[in-house]
Amino acid sequence: MNEFINFDEISRETWQNLYKTSIAPLTHDELESIRSLNDEISLKDVQDVYLPLVHLLRLYKKNLEDMSFSKGLFLQKIVKTPPLIIGISGSVAVGKSTTARLVQLLLSRAFPKLSVELVTTDGFLYTTDDLKNRGILDRKGFPESYDMERLLAFLYHVKNGEKCEIPIYSHETYDILPDQVQTIDSPDILIVEGINVLQNPQNQMLYISDFYDFSIYVDAEEELIEKWYLERFDSLLKLAKYDTTNFYHQFTKMPVSKVVNLAKETWARVNRINLKEYIEPTRNRAEVILHKSENHYVDKIYLKKF
């Protein structure tokens, strides 16, 4: 069966005409400030792809408010509108972090009176020590390396309008930062970004997908993602060259050919397997799939029919 049978495939040209506006509500410098390492994005991408997407999100926000109002009439009491929760998923190195930060910025401009927060599921990884104790350090990034119970509890508390504190992950130290937390206090909109955003842990009474009002999957062909991963690995090495506290500094002392082989091996042994077995199979759970071609160019959009 065609995996995209429940999606409308929309070309970029058609998509960009679904919502017309005169100017992008941000500058080139603002766009650069949120761009991830080795990701490519332009103001034209904002205009053509992301402004129509944000307009669609506004419709979902309005629908959530209308439903809460109608439910209140039915129950004969005031029902507070829960936060709109948006999930953004996709492979390592596909550019989902840039997409998440851009959507946050654009929604903040679209709803200037509302609070729009962003969290990454990296914060729910077990610490390096925990992974070692569990014997799964080599499975970091796979489903079992995340504290999914804690992530579920977090989403539940946010939906209930409760204040939460969550761990912060550092890509420099490659670990959870000790004694540091991110506080999320009753946002109107919450964006959750990560490779496991659309995954469901087994034997749960609650599923992560229960909490999302809208979800986005950033997609590309495997060969391209591998290319972007290797380019990003090289950029991380350059940044870590003189920083002895950086996890990647250890690799800067190795011969270039050995480092390249290590990166390729890590892709094949970890990231490719994770993509094929656990990330990509969740793609059709998303409401929207942003498909990228060369240079991170979004060429097609898939919109779920029902």
Residues at the binding site are 90-97
Query: How far is 43 from 96, CA to CA, in rounded Å?
Result: 17
**DSSP codes joined into one string, 192-248:** EESTTTT---SS-SS-GGGG-SEEEEEEE-HHHHHHHHHHHHHHHHHHHTT-TTSGG
With CA atoms as reference, report the closest residue to 87 among 225, 178, 212. Answer: 212
**Binding site for ATP: which residues?**
90-97
β-strand partners of 185: 163
Structure tokens at 289: 């799939």
192, 85 Cβ separation under 8 angstroms: yes
Query: How far is 146 from 127, CA to CA, in rounded Å?
Result: 9
Structure tokens at 25: 């509500």
The strands making up 84-90's β-sheet, listed across from edge to edge, are 7-11, 298-304, 288-292, 214-220, 84-90, 189-193, 116-120
Instruction: State the virtual CA torsion across 216, 282, 142, 181 in degrees, nearest 10.
Output: 30
Query: How far is 38 from 256, CA to CA, in rounded Å?
Result: 19
